[in-house]
Structures are given as structure tokens and as C-alpha cells.
Amino acid sequence: MNVVEQLQKLSEAQFLSIYEALSQQGFGPLDHEVAKSLNFRPQAIRNLPFAQRAKRARQILASKRSAELCYELFGSYLIKDRQELVTGFLDATGVKHEKGMVEDLENALPNPQKVAAAVAELDQKFSPSDVTLYLSMCADQWPQVPEIEAIWRQRVG
């Protein structure tokens, strides 16, 4: 899955930024799994620096090669902190949605002819790394639109 490959391409700093953005009340989004892997009680995980927790969380995701967990983590980050990026792509490519959430992924396809222009516009407004992250998800969501994966592959090398 492209989101797992994208996870591997992220720098430690990028992953830490995503991890911190999703923290709530001092807990990271995967701190329960991190605590379990280290044989810590859930509350004790707060004693570890966020960077150390994020690094361990990334190792867990990579070892499980869990596209579902990566997709959930990346999607949560983008909807929480970059919703305009998500809605901008969907609007520009003609995908019907409700605040970035697409009801029928199989039938609500991005217009292939509009993908490149939408990505170029998003690159002007948002961090290209966030756009690339979103494209990895879109490539998994819509494999029947090969233009998305082609642009994503160009960006990740």
C-alpha cells in the first residue's frame, strides 16, 4: 500500500510533527501501542519524550506494515490540521464530499484530467510534503485513477 511506503519516506521530523499534532492531553495517537510494546503502564508512557514515543510508534507501524493504521493516522492528521488541503483537492477534481469526507469512494472518483492542476494549486497553498502525504492516501483510495499514483510516485522518487 502506498501509505506504508509513504511512512517509510517520511523523515523523523515529519513523522514527529504528525504525531505531536494528533496528541491529546499529553498522549500521542499510538501511545497505548507504544506502552504495550515497552511493557509500560499506559500512564507511564508520558515520562518518555514525545520524540522517543513517535520513533517507537513509527517502528510499530513499519513492522506491522499496517496500511489501515497508517491511513488512519495520516487521515486524522490531514482532516484535523489540513482540512482545506483535502477539501481543495476534492473540490478541484469534482469529488462530492462533506467537509472532506467522501461517502462513496467507489463511485465518487476524481476527474483524471483535473488531478495535475489540482496538485499544482495545492502545492502553492500548502507544504508539498503534506500534499504528497495526501496523494499517497488518494492513490490507495482510487487505484482506478492512475494519474494520482503517477504524480505521487514522481514526488517520492
The whole-number mean pLDDT for each consecutive block of 10 residues of the chain, a chain of 157 residues, reads: 92 95 93 93 90 95 88 95 97 95 90 98 96 96 96 94
What's the pLDDT at 12? Answer: 94
C-alpha distances in angstroms, 135 versus 49, 138, 143, 147?
30, 5, 11, 10
What's the length of the chain? 157
3-state secondary structure of 143: coil
Q: Of 45, 73, 101, at which residue does a domain stop?
A: 73
Query: Is residue 128 left, alpha or beta, with left meaning phi > 0 and alpha meaning psi from -120 to 50?
Result: alpha
Same domain, 149 and 94: yes
Residues 6, 31 within the same domain: yes
Residue 106 sits in the same domain as residue 144: yes
Domain count, the chain: 2
- What's the confidence (pLDDT) of residue 107? 87
Collapsing DSSP to helix, strand or coil, 24 comes out as strand
Based on the fold, state whether residues 13 and 67 are members of the same structural domain: yes
Range of the domain at 87: 82-156
Assess contact for 134 and 89: CB atoms under 8 A. yes
Instruction: Choose the final residue of a domain: 34, 49, 73.
Output: 73
Q: Do 88 and 61 share a structural domain?
A: no
pTM to 2 decimals? 0.91
Q: What pLDDT is stored for residue 58 in this prediction?
A: 95
CB burial readout 87-96, b (16+ within 10 A) else e: bbbbebbebe
Q: Which three cell numbers stand for residue 156?
A: 517520492
3-state secondary structure of 121: helix
Q: Give yes or no: residues 52 and 110 share one domain.
A: no
